[in-house]
Amino acid sequence: MDTRKEKFPYGIPGHNLSEVEREIPVEEPSAWPVNDKLKVIGKRIKRIDALEKVTGKAIYTSDIKLPGMLYAKMFRAKVPHAVITSIDTSKAENLAGVHAVHLIKNTKKDGEKDNKGKYPMVKYVGQPLGGIAAESLEIAKEAASLVQVYYEEKPFVVDLEAAMELNAPIVFDQPIEQQEDGGDVGESHDGSKGEGNVRGPSTSSFFGGPRGDLDLGFQEADVIVERTYRTQVHTHMPLETHGVVVDWNSDMMTVYASTQNTASVRNQMANVFNLPKSRVRVICEFMGGGFGAKHSAGSFGPMAANLAKKTGRPVWLMLDRKEEHLAEGNRPNSIQYLKIGAKKDGTLTGIQQRSHGTAGVGLGAGVGRIAQILYTCPNFATEQYDVLTNAGPGAAWRAPGNVQGAFGLEQAIDEMAEKLNMDPLTYRDRIDTSEVRKVERQRGAKLFGWSRRRPAGSSKGVVKKGLGVGQSTWPRFVSLDSSVEVKIHKGGGVEIRSSVQDIGTGTKTILAQVVAEELGLEVTDITVNIGDTFFPVGPGSGGSVVTGSITPPTRNATFEAKKELLKLVAKKWETDSSELDMSNGEVYHKRDTSKKMTFKEATKLLRTSQISKIASRSDDYGGFQQPWGLAYGDLGSVQFAEVSVNTDTGLVKVDKIVAAHSCGRPLNITQLESQINGGVIQGVSYALYENRVMDKGTGHMMNANVDQYKVPFSMEIPEIETVIVEEYSGRSSTDAYGIGEPANIATAAAIANAVYNAIGVRLYEIPITPSSILKALSEVS
Amino acid sequence: MNRFSWYEAKSVEDALEQVNSTLSNELYESSPEATVFKSGGIDVFDWVKEGLLKPQKIINIRNIPGLDGIRFDKKDGLHIGSNVTLAEIGSNPEIKTNYLALHKAVIHAATPQLRNVSTLGGNIAQRNRCWYFRSAEHPCFRKGGERCFARHSKRGENENHAIIDNGSCVSVHASSIATALMAYKADVIIKNAEGEEKNVPMDDFFVSAGKDIAMENILKPKEIITEIVLPTPKKNTKSAYIKQVARKSYDWSLSDVAVVMEISGNTCRSASIVLGAAAPVPYRSVEAEKAIEGKAINTENAMAAAEAAMSIARPLSKNGYKVPLFISTIKQTILEIS
């Protein structure tokens, strides 16, 4: 590969901005300056599809209506653990308007000893058993209720601690494999080790394994903090439920899907039905939220396709809210033991972590890497265990593991600071080597008014005020399989195409910004056609990879197309294309001001109808930490929380959050703020409200609705202010990264620390509710 | 949800001719000719959607003329038609002036959208709250089953459940508005198929679980609530209402308390104190009333009344927090009177 040397802005404006020289592929564009000197990048740009969304014009998967389309409903297990002896679908099949019934067959008969029947063993309430296609949704639902399933029930366990006991009912009597859904970047969990329902431990991550000598570390410590923290199961509740519309004829299977990964849904459907990828098309034009649980088409996608195959008609299959709660993903709970040791001056000497969590019948219930890497500590070890229970499988959930991990670690650090008689921010200045988080602490503290903070429990009156802080880190992941096509049409019109979907964060808009900046056009001049696997494959919306993965190829493809257009203009003007550039909708000669023409005029010089350039993602400039796409640097945050706690009623109100974040070069301030708002609100919800309640006696979820499963509404949402720190590192042609997951990691820990500051009693478990506050207060009085 | 026919009732008489059962009769074991009244439909459709109620016919009483007025005069008291929406009650200035506790109970109930649809008759006749009772998979005592899932000391998820009068059933009554209505000693006006009308005091309208676990109120199949009547407040009467929740925007109460008190100066002459979300019915706390009557309204006496109210509390495994919560709520509500 031919390379050239190029200088890039490096560091944080207003703090330590300098330059760095990188060796870059020769065909890639020159470095962008800092955002101040750009026209549309780093500005407040309105979403290009805002009008469609707020007027209801945007068509989501559930809105799709095709000629002859049938509506499908799945039927599900009503017991938590059983062998199915028979299923009687005769009443359902005889109901007028029913076109087809499809049952899920047992394909793994060689597995567990009881798993020999015609149908898969039931492992949790809500497990899909089959589906029905009918002329209306009402008929499909009624038919589903007429299906009779006969069970031979088995002992079950839904409670994490009960499942860990030696004589607990066994969920799987054999090793299991982690389901690949692409959501949990780079993590692996071993389901083959361990005893009973406890699998693992996982002791290492891509940042390495245990380090140093823990015994020695704790011997050297002057102060020890040793605690156990608990977090709850948090179910995904995107406004739009999971679902697909499948239109399958002899030439093509077209799948309209509510998905955060069109490409992986295509691969899944092609694989399940043994079709070439060229004959499966997945489309997701608008997306009503995913949070990590929508990387695959689960069992509902193949179900809809099977029903489409049986009936020869398109099939609509969207799940309802109860199905979402029971079967379509959750953030596993955790019990985390944490021991940290420090010298009198605060230097950390040891961090020991041991966690157990349950992702139900799935794996992936660890607590992430945050204790391993957030602070400098020579001696570290973690043991993270997965515990199997008879409950719906977990799924990636906005910073998998790390949200749980941050809740424990950041409270322990807070407690350590207090024992050392240090301010929590000062203490973090001591032990956190990240330059960008240092700036976030400074700028955030100023905006928040951290100096108002008083010692824990010193607030007077019934309603006590408290301030707290929490930090986070998240890796910069890059998906190497990220391609994009940029087209300049003859006579005007610029188009960008990729299978990458806009999960709702504004991907369409930032792509238009990148193209507009490069071509000197307006954002509204660019047409963005994405979310369709007929176009070059882009990344899944997981791991916060989208911005960092797809914007550099977008800029590179645009740059290639631009070079070709400039060559044509240069030929006409009889000059060299290096003398030309584009801005304000014009092509101009850099030295000869008499020579200019509009962009539209220039495109009329094309010989063919279009210039079309496809680019994919090269490695980061200067390489990766890990060759699969773990970039250098991180996506850190510092969040500040102000709370009011009513000590009579136990009611906690989060009054304010200041969220200080970095994501490399910020592309669109309005959208970044919007994403941070969303992350913070989910963090508030995690800290105070959401909680899956499972009945231990029957294995059913008791609050599988939006009435008893509580999410925050308008009055629960605090004032949210954001600090976005620009941080340049010259790693790609855009130098930009995502923020989806970082926005959600530190909030619950910051709130828990603020609650402690308010009432002087620490809560080690979320959600923090009136019940838990009153209980904690009564135990100390 | 099953298929059902829809009947648009033209009058109370018309509605009563169509009906042959009540919601209470039909739960869990629906009869093939089950009928059910629907006004706002908020609670009824929850039961239908869950599959617990399978009506063959829904009788819409929402559009019956004459059940939709609010009338107040000093002599006759306050008359609220059973089809009046919560939103209408919440925005009525005479109710706000003369029945503050009712006003507050209404504006803190549900959400603005639900208040636009919910009617007062339906609100007080809604079924109890317990997630086992409201689940098709849990055949509990109240649905004719053989166990109480919530009471179990190790397995019961009973954080939101009753702490008083919970010997037979541990659910709580769902209407926080009934808490205020009972404190005002309102009457429920019930009409039957024979055209007879009866005035039932709120204290007698609800049926304790110990008396009949299948019923939460005295309504019979061919009976309909037409009106709620609140007496004119006596001179020097003040009222207050507080509801405590885990989520302010929209939530069921963890504790709610209505106090209606006749005072002279700062002394309580007579008190009517009712607790919501404490028991399977709105619960009149005679203990608190006795403790505060004749006493000055101050923190010490309010606290004593609150503690007296809670002296009979028998919390379950996970709802012990409700005792201090009620103590605080009762105390604060009494103190709002002064």
Band the pLDDT of B3: cuts 50, 70, 90: confident
With b for 16 or more beta-carbon neighbours within 10 A and e for fewer, the A367-395 pattern comes to bbbbbbbbbebebbbbbbbbbbbbbbbbb
Q: Is B135 on the interface with A (CB under 8 A)?
A: yes
**The whole model's pTM is what?**
0.97
Asked if residues A131 and A307 have their Cβ atoms less than 8 Å apart, the reply is yes
User: Rounded to a whole number, what is the distance in Å from the CA of A343 to chain B's nearest CA?
Assistant: 40
* Chain B CB contacts of A157 below 8 Å: none
What pLDDT, on a 0 to 100 scale, did the predictor assign at position B54? 87
Residue A103 CB neighbour total at 10 angstroms: 17
* Chain B CB contacts of A649 below 8 Å: 244, 325, 328-329
What pLDDT, on a 0 to 100 scale, did the predictor assign at position A179? 58
User: Rounded to a whole number, what is the distance in Å from the CA of A393 to chain B's nearest CA?
Assistant: 21
What pLDDT, on a 0 to 100 scale, did the predictor assign at position A113? 73
**B155 to A696: CB separation less than 8 angstroms, yes or no:** yes
Q: How far apart are CA A728 and CA A664, in angstroms?
A: 6
What pLDDT, on a 0 to 100 scale, did the predictor assign at position A190? 67
**A774 to B254: CB separation less than 8 angstroms, yes or no:** no
Which member of A145, A650, A695 has the closest CB to residue B321? A650
The terminus-to-terminus CA distance of chain B in angstroms comes to 51
What pLDDT, on a 0 to 100 scale, did the predictor assign at position B29? 58
Report whether pLDDT(A689) > 60. yes
**B321 to A775: CB separation less than 8 angstroms, yes or no:** yes
Query: Whose CA is closest to A541, among A517, A496, A572, A510?
Result: A510
Which member of A78, A703, A716 has the closest CB to residue B247? A716
Q: Is B146 on the interface with A (CB under 8 A)?
A: no
Query: Across chain A, what does the average pLDDT equal?
Result: 96
* Chain A CB contacts of B2 below 8 Å: 142, 145
What pLDDT, on a 0 to 100 scale, did the predictor assign at position A186? 41
Q: How does DSSP assign A240-290, residue by residue? A: SPSEEEEEE-SS-EEEEE--S-HHHHHHHHHHHTT--GGGEEEE-SS----
Which member of B137, B155, B321 has the closest CB to residue A771? B321
Which member of A695, A700, A715 has the closest CB to residue B248? A715
Pick the range with the lowest mean pLDDT from A403-412, B3-12, B25-34: B25-34
Which member of A649, A653, A697 has the closest CB to residue B149? A697
Instruction: Tell me the per-residue pLDDT of A604-661, one tens digit each, with 9 for 90 and over.
Output: 999 999 999 999 999 999 999 999 999 999 999 999 999 999 999 999 999 999 999 9
This complex has an ipTM of: 0.96
Report whether pLDDT(A194) > 90. no
Among chain B residues, the shortest Cα distance to A652 is held by B246
Phi, psi of A472 (to 5 degrees): -150, 165
Mutation choice for B interface testing from A774, A780, A781 by most B CBs within 10 A: A774
The terminus-to-terminus CA distance of chain A in angstroms comes to 71
- CA-to-CA separations, A672 to A721, B81, B118, in angstroms, rounded: 12, 51, 40
Instruction: Tell me the per-residue pLDDT of A379-422, one tens digit each, with 9 for 90 and over.
Output: 999 999 999 999 999 999 999 999 999 999 999 999 999 999 99
Q: How many CB pairs under 8 A join A and B?
A: 83
Sign of the torsion formed by the C-alpha atoms of A375, A368, A468 and A666: positive
Mutation choice for B interface testing from A649, A766, A775 by most B CBs within 10 A: A649
Report whether pLDDT(A436) > 80. yes
* Chain B CB contacts of A651 below 8 Å: 244-246, 248
Which member of A141, A142, A713 has the closest CB to residue B250? A713
Name, of A100-114, A118-132, A177-191, the range with top average pLDDT.
Answer: A118-132
Across residues A750-757, what is the average pLDDT?
98
**B328 to A649: CB separation less than 8 angstroms, yes or no:** yes
Report whether pLDDT(B30) > 80. no
Here the tokens at position A499 are 């299978």
Q: Is B247 on the interface with A (CB under 8 A)?
A: yes
Which member of A653, A703, A712 has the closest CB to residue B131? A703
Across residues A564-588, what is the average pLDDT?
97
Report whether pLDDT(A183) > 60. no
**A700 to B249: CB separation less than 8 angstroms, yes or no:** no
What is the distance of C-alpha B130 from the center of its chain?
14
**A702 to B250: CB separation less than 8 angstroms, yes or no:** no
Report whether pLDDT(A182) > 60. no
What pLDDT, on a 0 to 100 scale, did the predictor assign at position B23? 63
Residues A267, A268, A270: CA angle, nearest 5 degrees: 65
Band the pLDDT of A115: cuts 50, 70, 90: confident
Among chain A residues, the shortest Cα distance to B155 is held by A696
**B157 to A650: CB separation less than 8 angstroms, yes or no:** no
What pLDDT, on a 0 to 100 scale, did the predictor assign at position B25? 62
Find tokens 């100096």 and name the residue. A451
Q: How far apart are CA A468 and CA A683, in angstroms?
A: 14
Asked if residues A749 and A411 have their Cβ atoms less than 8 Å apart, the reply is yes
Q: How far apart are CA B216 and CA B123, in angstroms?
A: 13
User: Rounded to a whole number, what is the distance in Å from the CA of A162 to chain B's nearest CA?
Assistant: 11
What pLDDT, on a 0 to 100 scale, did the predictor assign at position A753? 98
User: Rounded to a whole number, what is the distance in Å from the CA of B132 to chain A's nearest CA?
Assistant: 7
**A774 to B131: CB separation less than 8 angstroms, yes or no:** no
Query: Across chain B, what does the average pLDDT equal?
Result: 95
Report whether pLDDT(A765) > 50. yes
Band the pLDDT of A466: cuts 50, 70, 90: very high
What pLDDT, on a 0 to 100 scale, did the predictor assign at position A175? 79
Report whether pLDDT(B28) > 60. no
Biggest CA pair distance of chain A: 88
Across residues A103-125, what is the average pLDDT?
83
- CA-to-CA separations, B11 to B19, B86, B188, in angstroms, rounded: 13, 22, 19
Q: How far apart are CA B320 and CA A672, in angstroms?
A: 43
* Chain A CB contacts of B247 below 8 Å: 689, 710, 712-713, 716
Asked if residues A525 and A516 have their Cβ atoms less than 8 Å apart, the reply is yes
What pLDDT, on a 0 to 100 scale, did the predictor assign at position B1? 77
Pick the range with the lowest mean pLDDT from A41-45, A170-174, B267-271: A170-174
**A698 to B138: CB separation less than 8 angstroms, yes or no:** yes
Instruction: Tell me the per-residue pLDDT of B68-86, one tens digit each, with 9 for 90 and over.
Output: 999 999 999 999 999 999 9
**B254 to A693: CB separation less than 8 angstroms, yes or no:** no
Here the tokens at position A348 are 């950390």
With b for 16 or more beta-carbon neighbours within 10 A and e for fewer, the A153-182 pattern comes to ebebbbbbebbbeeebbbbbeeebebbebb
Residue A215 CB neighbour total at 10 angstroms: 11
